[in-house]
Amino acid sequence: MPAQVVDGRAIAAAIRREVQAELKALAAGHRPPGLAVILVGEDAASATYVRNKAKACEEVGIRSVQIHRPATISREELLTVLHTVNKDETVDGILVQLPLPPHIGERSILEAVDPAKDVDGFHPANLGGLLTGHPLFVASTPLGIMEVLDRFRIAIEGRDAVVVGWSTIVGKPIAFLLLHRRATVTVCQKWTRDLDRHTRMADILVVAAGQPGLVKGDMVKEGAVVIDVGINRANGRLVGDVDFASVSPRASLITPVPGGVGPLTVAMLLKNTLVAYKARIGLARQP
C-alpha cells in the first residue's frame, strides 16, 4: 500500500491560522509582535526567503522589520546593528539570514543575538539548552518535523529513529528532540559505512544529508515513517535526499520535496515569534 503523503503546505497554513487567531485574541491592549530579519548582501535566494517571511508575518499579524545592509558591511558594524535590535522593546524575535559574507564570520554574529529573541534557535545557549531539554527556542525545521509526527499521531516513545545528517540546523536538533521523546536514536552521515544497515532499522527515518536520492527503497524498512529534509536542484527541478518513487511504496508516511517539510519552516518561525512575544509582554513564562 503506498505511503500517506504529507501535505506540508496544508499543515503550514493551519499553523498560520492558529497563530493568527491567537494574535487576534491578544490584540486588545497589546502592541503587535515584531520580528526583525537582517539580510546582508544581494544573494537572490536569501532575498526571496526574506520576502516570504515578511509576507507570512503580514498574513498572521506580526510586524516585520527588515534590515538590509550591503555585503561590504564590517563585522563590527553588523554587531552594532544587532545590539540595537537586541535592545528594541518592540522586537520580539531576531533572525539573521544566512549565509553571511565570508569576511564577517557567522559564529560571532549568531552569538551576539539575544537568546531570548533567537527565534531561529541558533544561539549556543539555545543549542546547549536543547542538550539538557530546556532550550528557549529550537530551530524551525526540526520543530516542523516534530509537528508532522505529532499531527499524524506517530508514536515516538520506544521507536527506533535514524537521522541521516548531523548539521546544527537539522540533524543534531532533531536527534535531541527525538531523544527527549524517548526514542532510540542513531545519527548517521552520508559517509557512514553500510548506511543501509542503519536506515533499515528505522521506524522513523529523517534524512537531511544534502545528497539527492541518497536513500533508496531497499534501504527503508517496510512501514517506516520517512521525513525528507533535503532540498537539491537536479535536472532543473527540486528533489529531496530520498528517492521518492522507490521509497514511497515501502513507507507508511512520507514527506515529498517540494511541499513537505519546507513550508513548515516559516510557519514554525512564526510560532516561535508568538512564543517570544507572549513572554515579553508578560502573558507567558519564557519557554
Question: What are the residue numbers of the active site?
Answer: 53, 97, 120
Which of 127, 196, 197, 187 minimizes the C-alpha distance to 161? 187
77, 71 contact by CB (below 8 A): no
Cα four-point dihedral sign 5, 226, 251, 242: positive
How would you classify the pairing of strands 4-5 and 34-40? unpaired
DSSP classification of residue 121: -
Q: Is 179 exposed, middle or buried (CB count within 10 Å of its CB: 0-12, 13-18, 19+)?
A: middle
Give all strands of the β-sheet with 93-96 in edge-to-edge order: 63-69, 34-40, 93-96
Neighbouring-strand partners of residue 161: 185, 204
**201 phi and psi angles, rounded to 5 deg:** -85, -10
4, 225 contact by CB (below 8 A): no
* Ramachandran class of 235: left when φ > 0, alpha when ψ lies in -120 to 50, beta otherwise: left
Label residues 134-168 b or e (16+ Cβ within 10 Å = b).
ebbbbbbbbbbbbbbbeeeebebeebbbbbbbeee
Which of 59, 40, 177, 51 minimizes the C-alpha distance to 121? 177
